[in-house]
Chains A and B, each alone.
Chain A
Amino acid sequence: MNNDQQLKLQSYLDDELSPRENRQVTEWLAVDSDARALLAELKNTTSALSGNELEVKLPEGRDFYFSKIQRQLEREAKVQAAPVREPVLARLWKYVLPLAGTAAAVIVFAMVLQKQISPATLAYVAGEGETSEEMSAYTYHSQADGMTVVWLADNSAATEVSSEAIEIQ
């Protein structure tokens, strides 16, 4: 059996032949036991694989995984937004930002006074974390695990700190 015949047999199994070629292969199979044996082997493999892919689970927790997706989206949004910003707008932004910040602070302060936000959670809501210049960090809170995670993303700096810090060897 040559290579073309073998591939034709496979196409017959996968229903990729024209009706005419299909008939030809059927006739051939009736007289060739080697062809029948090869077709049986291909069929066995296909049916064994069907619906029997091993189920693999994502090894990361749902919240952690999603927080990484969110962070990447934010990062890409920033990159896309950056060139569009006009210098005039940037200059205006300088004035708008402190005003907006002051307004937000006043609103938050008013909410604290009205006991809508407890002071204990205020810092957390406002994200009072600070990272060294060499690395960036992202924070997420998992209610289910009762855990706040701050993951330092700058690999080069984090690696340096970690390997030095742990001294595994």
Chain B
Amino acid sequence: MPTTPDYTSQADSELVKSSQKGDMRAFEELVGRHRDKIYARAFSMMRNEEEAIDLSQEAWVKAWQRLVQFQGDSSFVTWMTRIVINLCLDQLRKNKRQRAESIEAMDEDGGGVERHLPVVTVNPTEGLERGELRQRIDKALAQLSKEHRTVLILHEFEDLEYKEIAKRMGCSIGTVMSRLFYARRRMASLLQSLKKERT
């Protein structure tokens, strides 16, 4: 009598191999394992639960369809994260096309405001408990524009270089640098004001 493989004890690489042969149960296990991480990345970029669910779901659909292309050069979860990031970037571009030119889009790359922000001399996150720090960072990230938040996520959380970010976002390296600089300065200022709010 054939026995059902114990998917839960298998490594991602084994599950990927089985999925590449069309084993949907193995793929289901991969989804089960990494669904939170993939959804979290979509949510951090979109800041909208509905869109994040849809995009993360679409990423899994794309992953299944393109599994044969996965050669194992990176980990499966890294590969999956790249897929969801690309989908989010596409969606952000579509959203941007739909909305009128916003004020944030006009002053984002010019390097105007951030140059005049006073330097935050005291580390605003020093001595904070990790949970509290995470909450504050999330709150501050939510206040950034989509463009600035995206560049910050790709650089700080996904460890992508300027060149790679520029390629994915479809802009110049100079724009990436400018956006990243503004995003960091704004984050410092936001984290400081959140600290002041608490004290």
User: Is residue B61 within 8 Å, beta carbon to beta carbon, of the partner chain?
Assistant: yes
A59 at the interface (CB under 8 A from B): yes
In chain B, positions 119-164 with a C-beta closer than 8 Å to chain A are 119-121, 123-125, 130, 133-135, 137-138, 152, 155-157, 161-162
Check A54/B125 contact, CB under 8 A, given A10-B181, A41-B119, A73-B61.
no
B115 contacts partner chain A, Cβ-Cβ < 8 Å = yes
Number of B residues near A (Cβ < 8 Å) is: 48
Chain A residues near B152: list those with CB within 8 A. Answer: 49
Determine if B17 is an interface residue (Cβ-Cβ < 8 Å). Answer: no
Q: Chain B residues near A52: list those with CB within 8 A.
A: 130, 133-134, 137
| Segment at the interface with A among B39-47, B77-85, B92-100 | B39-47
| A46: chain B residues within 8 A (beta carbon) | 156, 184
A residues contacting the other copy or chain, number (CB 8 A): 37
Nearest CB of A to B128, in Å: 9
Known pairs A34-B119, A65-B35; A44 contacts B130 (CB<8 A): no
* B52 CB, min distance to chain A CBs, angstroms: 8
Contact of B181 among A7, A37, A76 (CB under 8 A): A7
10 contacts between A and B (CB under 8 A): A6-B111, A7-B178, A11-B177, A34-B119, A38-B119, A56-B43, A65-B53, A69-B57, A69-B61, A72-B58
